Structure 1
């Protein structure tokens, strides 16, 4: 018992030291990373604000904040020089850069023949610091709460992001996107589950369940769409693409559905494995019944999660259309058709994954069809 506590203490100290190192290095990099940018970056040192009122064509008014800014260039051959900038911020956030002292912005500078700065203009806000701090908080929390398994989960996320970026690059070089997405999805499933859960019955059961449920959900969706000849599906929001939107849309369905199904599969496999470990003599019927009780609880929340996740991405355009008095039927038919189909397809996969995961887990775990690796 004493040795166990000692080992646990050592692991905790190692994890804490690892977190402190990650936090310190990341903070130093984020606070001093201007030299890594090709674009000119300026740090605001003072802001002088004046207010005015803007009038709309329908008689509405809005307060405008006019900012006269002094800033110091942080990179490039003009580093250290002071410049003056102008910025407007409005209540409606049409002009949404409400700048403060110590904020950093990307700027363009115009030079004369002697390379002296003649004028400068703000391009955009430098947001990487805030994004970086958010990511740091996520990493710290997942390591503190999840420990070693949290670290493995983090590795899984990083690997999946790398796979996705490789997939996009292959697509840009002309590789078949559909085939690439299928291969990437298989890698997502195998690597995500095995990295987090290890190589064991539970992981193998979750992998098999995820693949079967995803395949069936995609076949059902594809069959329905093909029989309907894509009627009622509007690709207006994909009109900027230079490739067939149908293939891109099917890939979106595949990857989006995969996440929900994988979550269900690993949850049920873990539950079945734990119940079996507690009572190896449990009857198959009782184990299946317990699995269905868990599955029913997960089903409702996961279906809502998929629906909210997809529709939330369309909230800005939905609110804009409502404000311009477009009917709800038009909004659903034109602007929400893709999101609803993704959500419905994902929900089909979630519902199917419950019985598939239960029976697969019981078959592989209780019946001892495979051994521990």
Structure 2
């Protein structure tokens, strides 16, 4: 254990040192013009910048750049001496952050490695693959707008669940149970939400925030519900079944009835906290806009109705996924086992 702690400290120091080197010296390999700020002055809502070129034709030359200035930094960031920035002409485009990005990614990988070992590495790989698959799904829909996003998202759903489970556990009976239980939970949850919205004709849902879309908003919103249900359902299914597998491994004399009862207890314990996690995750992003509406004369009820109706349905869909995943995961767990003595 002591050796592992020492290795973790050394790896973290190397990670920090490498990040600083990348942030400081990687600029010469960029094709886009890059400069290091020497002085920043604020005049007439502008940041007037004196900088030294890092690469390209103006390497080593002093130059004058400008960037917009806003105190709240909504559309621009505050620049200080020592920042490296990409520029075009005399305008600053954005800050260079590759060293900080490297630190966050490498530190996450180190944490997964030291906490989860081999499982941590496979978890990192599955997260990268799932993210890539999601971006590919969005790109594919953009290139084939005649297709509906919903069936494309369903294909992504199957791929995402399969990659997450089979990459971590391998293809075996236990992972197949989790896979089937997760798919059934997601489809059941989504089916309930879809039919409810259809029967109520989307009454009470405010799609104004999606008004900038040039595509039909309803399939896109339904696809977002499906993606949200993946995380909620998958997490609960894996937690319940993995807990029962561990109990079964530790106690060879446990009966199936006792395992099912333990699974119900675990499900009841985690369902409340996980639903609260959903509420915090979905509603937290709306806090700045809620305050903006309230400070501009809107009543609280009008603001909530306008901004949170779509998020509320996402929370309900995820909540259904969490609650339904408990009996469904117990059902598939019991199917894979004979009655234990």
TM-score category by the smaller chain? 0.7 to 0.9
Question: In 1, are the aligned partners of 2:33 and 2:56 still within 8 Å (CA)?
Answer: yes
Consecutive unaligned residues in structure 1, runs of 5 or more: 1-7, 53-64, 110-119, 369-373
CA distance in 2, matches of 1:21, 1:367: 53
Q: Normalising to structure 1: TM-score of the pair?
A: 0.80
Q: 1:144 aligns with which of 114, 134, 137?
A: 114
Q: Secondary structure at the match of 1:243?
A: coil
1:311 aligns with: 283
2:82 aligns with: 102
Q: 2:104 aligns with which of 134, 144, 150?
A: 134
Q: How does 1:229-308 map to 2 (within 5 A)?
A: 229-308=201-280
Q: Secondary structure at the match of 2:57?
A: coil
- Would the alpha carbon gap of residues 81 and 210 (structure 1) be closer, same or farther in structure 2, given more than 3 Å must change? same
1:70 aligns with 2:50: yes
- Would the alpha carbon gap of residues 233 and 36 (structure 1) be closer, same or farther in structure 2, given more than 3 Å must change? farther
- Would the alpha carbon gap of residues 12 and 187 (structure 1) be closer, same or farther in structure 2, given more than 3 Å must change? farther
1:40 aligns with 2:33: yes
Question: In 2, are the aligned partners of 1:238 and 1:245 still within 8 Å (CA)?
Answer: yes
Question: In 2, are the aligned partners of 1:268 and 1:294 still within 8 Å (CA)?
Answer: yes
1:324 aligns with 2:288: no
2:193 aligns with: 221
1:345 aligns with: 317
* Greater mean deviation of Cα atoms: 215-224 or 302-311: 302-311
1:167 aligns with: 137
How far residue 214 of structure 1 moved from its aligned partner, in angstroms, is: 0.5
How many matched pairs? 338
CA distance in 2, matches of 1:20, 1:192: 31
2:158 aligns with: 186
CA distance in 1, matches of 2:19, 2:333: 41
Question: In 2, are the aligned partners of 1:202 and 1:266 still within 8 Å (CA)?
Answer: no
CA distance in 1, matches of 2:85, 2:217: 36
Q: 2:62 aligns with which of 82, 93, 102?
A: 82
CA distance in 2, matches of 1:13, 1:363: 46
Q: Normalising to structure 2: TM-score of the pair?
A: 0.87
1:60 aligns with: none
CA distance in 2, matches of 1:82, 1:358: 68
Larger strand share, 1 or 2:
1
* Greater mean deviation of Cα atoms: 222-231 or 81-90: 81-90
Larger radius of gyration between Structure 1 and Structure 2? 1
2:307 aligns with: 335
2:330 aligns with: 358
Q: Secondary structure at the match of 1:261?
A: helix
How far residue 284 of structure 1 moved from its aligned partner, in angstroms, is: 2.1
* Greater mean deviation of Cα atoms: 11-20 or 331-340: 11-20
Consecutive unaligned residues in structure 2, runs of 5 or more: none
CA distance in 1, matches of 2:62, 2:337: 68
How far residue 362 of structure 1 moved from its aligned partner, in angstroms, is: 2.7
